[in-house]
Structure 1
Amino acid sequence: MPRIENDIKLDFKDVLLRPKRSTLKSRSEVDLMRSYTFRNSKGSYRGIPIIAANMDTVGTFEMALVFDWLSLNCCVCVGGLKRECMFIF
C-alpha cells in the first residue's frame, strides 16, 4: 500500500539564503577543499565535495579526468544495458 507523506516540502523558491559577513577580503580567498576521515574504514579523502551526475553525456571518462585534475568527483557509467556505475575519486 502506498504511503502518503503530509510533511512540508520546500523548493528553491521557498528558501532564501542570506549573505553573511566574512573576514575574507575577496572571493579568491575561499577554500572549498575538505578533508574527511571515514569512520568505519579509517580511509581519508581530501577534495571538493562536488559530484558530476551519472548521466551518459556527463559521467564520461574524459570528464572524470578533468574532475580529478580539479579535485572533484565523477560517477561514470560503464557496461551496456546493465548500467553499472562506479564512483571515481
Structure 2
Amino acid sequence: MKKVDGKPTPVLRVRNSGNAHGRLAGLLNAKDTDGTALEVQASTMPIMPGETRDIALQATRPGDPETAVAIRYPLSVSGKLEWGRKGSLVIEQRFASPSP
C-alpha cells in the first residue's frame, strides 16, 4: 500500500531487469471485503531498464474499465499481467486495510 494522490492505493513493486523499457498490461480479478467482484488494472507508465518502482493498481467494476471505484479492504487480487511479447507475471496478492 502507498499513498497516491493523497489516497491509500494498492501497488505492485516491479523491476525491469531487461535492456528496454516496458509496460504492464492486463486486467486482474479482485474481490473486496464484501465479496464484490472488481477488475484491477496496473498503471501503464513505462518502466525503464534497470528501474524498480511501485506501480499503482486501479479498481473498476467488471466491464467498466473507465470508472474507478472505492476499494473496501482487504482486497484479494489474482491473475496475470503481461509485458512485451513473451513476458508475464502471475499475481496472487492480498492488500490489507490502509493505516489511518
Q: Return the TM-score normalized by structure 1.
A: 0.25
More helix by share: 1
**Structure number with higher relative contact order (C-alpha < 8 Å, ≥ 6 residues apart):** 2
Higher strand share: 2
- If you compute each CA radius of gyration, which structure gives the higher value, 1 or 2? 1
